[in-house]
A and B are shown apart, each in its own frame.
Chain A
Amino acid sequence: MKVSYSAQLMEESVFRHLNHLERSGYRSDYDEFHSLADPIYELPEDDREAAFEKVNRLFFLERLKLGDHVLRALEAVGLIPKRKRTVRKSALVQKTEVAEIESPEELSEEADTEQAGAEGEAIESEEGVTAVAEMEEDDDELEQNDEVSYDLAREFEERIKEVVVKRGINKVDEGSNVLNRVSGNPIIEMRVLASRFSNPEEAQELDAFLIHEFMHAKDMVDPEFDYEDAFIPGNPSVKNLITARFKLLWNMYVDSRLARMGVVSVQPKESRYREFDNFYRKIPDKQRKGIFEGLWQTEKLTHEELLSMATDLDTLMSKYVDPGDMAEDEKDFIHLQGSPCPLCKFPTYNWVDDPESICDEMVIEAIQIDFPDWESRDGGCDRCIEVYELRAGVG
């Protein structure tokens, strides 16, 4: 597996990181960078681009070790086996770490790496345009933590052709994707904001983001997850709703596994619950909590199962709610946010759950003239109820 970084990402990340160090009073890397970069302006214009890329690559990979965030994230999710590598921590980070009390997890992670006071090992780069970090194979230095997970990680490492890390344009653009998945030579593409590399004291957020996204990518190349590009039938608002639920459920699946591995992800469990709560607010409290806990504890899910649960509430509930806990007809009358109103058929987030309890009898009768099979328990959107109130002459 190759890990490569786009020139734009390296340039912007190096600039922001060095800028932060300089503003914090740590000038040595900043001065060194400019001692190498400033003379490039004297070169002919056509020669400058390659020269700048070389300097940026040097600082991104070797001086500032910014590429290590990506490698550590790949190791954390099991896409590559853990390996020892030299670490050069900036003076700013060292100063911060001395002030903090290290947790046992940090101590065990640090045991995997060698802290070097001098420069880190140079990583051979093969290509002139983008930086390439070849994974060093040194059997004597391999971390022998678990034979099974090591073998699995090696399998992924060998199957995936390349990991390409690019600069994200904005927060929405950030994320991971797998290209050439069907052809059998998958390439993981990761887009990340360069500003995430600015502050070494906020590295945990960067690491959490990378780990979370690489876990998604891993699922996409994992035959057990069985990812497939799916066609979601229905009008655009239905598609959007199902896609949003699917994203939430997949994010939960990723974060729950990371939590069990003891790895920090982008959102903690409580935060995911609030998100889940928002989508499935209409499910009674007890069942809703039970579904969330059930999902969170599930060790294995497939793409099809996630999509099926996102599409159909029944599938979700039958998997995690005991049949005795809720009557069938109770389930039928759960009005999820974004579900279509039975009267106008438009998706609605403003439900009137039981109009009979708040409206005049004439309103119910007016609805049933147009919809003979409709019952109050079916509910309706607030706009439809208002229309029928007017028609009934009580609005």
Chain B
Amino acid sequence: MPEVYNWQLGRMATYVYDEKHPKEQFTFVFNTNRCIACQTCTMAHKSTWTFSKGQEYMWWNNVETKPYGGYPQFWDWKILKMLEQSNPGQNVWNVRKTSNKAIHGVYEGVTIFEAPAKIGLNQQAIGYVPTDEEWRFPNFGEDTAHGREFTQSREGTFGGDNGTRSVLPEHKIWFFYLQRICNHCTYPGCLAACPRKAIYKRQEDGIVLIDQSRCRGYKKCVEQCPYKKPMFRGTTRISEKCIACYPRIEGLDPLTEGDQMETRCMAACVGKIRLQGLVKIGSNGEWAHDPDNPQYYLIRDRKVALPLYPQLGTEPNGYYVPSRHVPRAYSQQMFGPGVDHSIDQYMVPDRDLLGVLQLFRTTQRIIFKWKREPGPKIFETNIHGKKFEMYNDTVIGFNRKGKEIIRVTVEEPFYVRPEEHPGAI
């Protein structure tokens, strides 16, 4: 089997096809600290793409509560268990081998593509087809926390073990929301699995699509996508998946007059947790150095945004800012060994990072470049022993052509109502 370079794993890895990269790659960053699970993103995609017969159960975008939720149910628990069973105790990260080519260390376990050889399975990747029951109740486990019961200590205080309080930032009782769409992976499991070669990755933006005219409903994509985002439509007997609203990415929506737009789920986000963009891929297949691009800045430069379950080996292009309050071991299993660094950065952000974070959901247009103009200092405090200084900088976002498309300050402006109209809006 061919070997491809997976920067998230920091090594060469097995894949079904030879290494090939698009000119640009669709990426997104979700800040899990901000999500309130309003599901507006879910309804945005549902009303745009999955409202027809046979699509009733489909949620190309879903927001699930961790640790107990999942759509389909237990999807991550099951694939991680399969991975562990194929290589017991050996699926570990070696952070001592961190380097420029392995920014989070090296994953020394097996991926979903390497596991079949270990267990003698004649498939492109390990996986399973969820049952009807598993596809049901996408909100199963919503808002269900994990943790020990509150116990009252002799002193009458409430806390966890023996009345000991949580040591912040980790909470003893916790849950968080995990928002998921298709990751439009660099090495997609669905694409590898399809016996009809009906799935392809677009050269212009890396969006992964299923050719509806070629698909014959084998459901191998459903089986071998570890994130379970391809979904079989019973009425047409053809599989479907998130298409990254590619007409919007292409700038075909008249609203933006040719400017490339973010997807519907990104644009609809009430909590301002989502930022989506396109990163340039160099001729060597690696991300072109471009710290002015907010996506590159968050993912590769500051390493605040981390991939989802990178150990699966598909090189997903969806990235997450981990939740500060979640126990680190859980987050590390989900986002890899970069969690501590990410949270340290996010918890006490410097001016640049704070500036980029303000760009989330300021515009529907894709921001290709950002810039910060300095402003006055307005606040200072200590956060977990670290000094935090806040400046009311102005952050500017630009479209592909370099035209300014958004301008926002770090501090939200105050509007003072004039005295002569106290009751007016």
A residues contacting B by CB (< 8 A) are 12, 15-16, 19, 23, 25, 34, 37-38, 41, 48, 52, 169-171, 193-195
State the main secondary structure of chain A at its contact with B: helix
Return the chain B residue nearest A169 by Cβ.
B132
Q: Which of B236-276 contact A (CB under 8 A)?
A: 237-238
From B132, B216, B219, A19 is in contact (CB under 8 Å) with B219
0/1 interface trace, chain B 128-152, chain A, CB 8 Å (1 if under): 0101110010000000000000000
Query: Residues of B contacting A194 with CB < 8 Å?
Result: 132
Q: Is B218 an interface residue (CB 8 A)?
A: yes
Query: Residues of A contacting B136 with CB < 8 Å?
Result: 170
How many contacts A-B (CB < 8 Å)? 30
**A16 vs B219: C-alpha distance in the bound complex, in angstroms?**
10
Return the chain B residue nearest A170 by Cβ.
B133
Q: Which of B121, B133, B136, B219: most chain A Cβ within 10 A?
A: B133
CB contact under 8 A between A23 and B219, given known A16-B129, A170-B132:
no
CB contact under 8 A between A23 and B123, given known A169-B132, A170-B132, A195-B131:
yes
0/1 interface trace, chain B 316-357, chain A, CB 8 Å (1 if under): 000000000000000000000000000000000000000000
Query: Residues of A contacting B122 with CB < 8 Å?
Result: 23, 25
Residue pairs across A and B with Cβ atoms less than 8 A apart, 13 shown, are A16-B129, A19-B219, A23-B122, A37-B217, A41-B216, A41-B238, A48-B237, A169-B133, A170-B133, A171-B133, A193-B131, A194-B132, A195-B131
Query: Residues of A contacting B217 with CB < 8 Å?
Result: 37, 41
**A194 vs B132: C-alpha distance in the bound complex, in angstroms?**
9
Query: Residues of A contacting B237 with CB < 8 Å?
Result: 41, 48, 52
**A52 vs B238: C-alpha distance in the bound complex, in angstroms?**
13
**A342 vs B223: C-alpha distance in the bound complex, in angstroms?**
56
**A16 vs B216: C-alpha distance in the bound complex, in angstroms?**
16
Query: Residues of B contacting A195 with CB < 8 Å?
Result: 131
Q: Is the CB of B121 within 8 A of A23?
A: yes
**A193 vs B218: C-alpha distance in the bound complex, in angstroms?**
20
Query: Residues of A contacting B238 with CB < 8 Å?
Result: 41
Q: Is the CB of B129 within 8 A of A37?
A: no
Return the chain A residue nearest B215 by Cβ.
A41
Q: Is the CB of B133 within 8 A of A19?
A: no
From A12, A15, A37, A193, B216 is in contact (CB under 8 Å) with A37
Return the chain B residue nearest A37 by Cβ.
B216
Q: Is the CB of B129 within 8 A of A34?
A: no
**A25 vs B116: C-alpha distance in the bound complex, in angstroms?**
13
Q: Which of B121, B123, B217, B219: most chain A Cβ within 10 A?
A: B217
0/1 interface trace, chain B 186-228, chain A, CB 8 Å (1 if under): 0000000000000000000000000000001111000100000
Minimum CB–CB distance from A77 to chain B (whole Å) comes to 27
Q: Is the CB of A34 within 8 A of B131?
A: no
Q: Is the CB of B216 within 8 A of A34?
A: yes
Q: Is the CB of B132 within 8 A of A15?
A: no
Q: A41-B217, A41-B238 are in contact. List 17 more A-B contacts (CB 8 A).
A: A12-B132, A15-B219, A16-B129, A19-B219, A23-B122, A23-B123, A25-B122, A34-B216, A37-B216, A38-B216, A41-B237, A48-B237, A169-B132, A170-B133, A170-B136, A171-B133, A194-B132
Q: Is the CB of A34 within 8 A of B133?
A: no
What are the 7 tightest A-B residue pairs by CB atom distance, in nearest-first order? A38-B216, A170-B133, A195-B131, A25-B122, A41-B216, A23-B123, A19-B129
Query: Residues of B contacting A169 with CB < 8 Å?
Result: 132-133
Minimum CB–CB distance from B416 to chain A (whole Å) comes to 57
